[in-house]
Amino acid sequence: MRAAAATYDRAVGEPLRRVPVRKRNEIVLVPVEQIASVVADGELLHLFTTRGEKHTIAYRLKDLEARLDPAAFVRLSRGTLANVTMITAVAPLPGGTYRLTMANGQQLQTSRMQSRLLRDRLLRL
């Protein structure tokens, strides 16, 4: 799967526009703007879309994050990325963390360190 993702977007420095996902006998191209969140699970990444779909790819989170537009995606914790435009609500939790509600209904929690960065980036006018 790494080869397909690495060869898809050939323009150096240009953010990835679609993520290739293997589905049985075909490869589906998921537009990045439809991805609400990316959650790491060991060696796998689970892509959750705005339509409630879940796709799984074998790719490293830090490598995918480097290929995505940094203005569109924010790191929430060691194993989670979120599409900024899909965040609908942010609720503070004890200990200085936040619980985010995504447009697809998904609930994600930030780490303390990422909470500070999120607050500076998204929660200030």
Domain assignment present for 120: no
Domain assignment present for 49: yes
The two three-digit tokens of residue 40, written as one number = 């790491």
Let me know: does 50 contact 86? Beta carbons within 8 Å. yes
Domain assignment present for 111: no
Residues of the chain with pLDDT under 70: 1-12, 125
Q: Count of domains in the chain?
A: 1
User: Which strand (E) or helix (H) includes residue 12?
Assistant: none
The two three-digit tokens of residue 5, written as one number = 């993702």
- pLDDT score, position 121: 80
Domain assignment present for 110: no
Could you tell me the pTM of the whole model? 0.84
- State the residue range of the domain holding 24: 2-85
Domain assignment present for 117: no
What does the pLDDT look like over 77-109, one tens digit per residue? 999 999 999 999 999 999 999 999 999 999 999
Collapse the DSSP code of 110 into the 3-class scheme (helix H, G, I; strand E, B; otherwise coil) and give the result. coil
- Residue length, the chain? 125
User: How far is Cα 41 from Cα 85, in angstroms, rounded to an integer?
Assistant: 23
What is the CATH classification number for the domain harbouring 45? 2.40.50.40
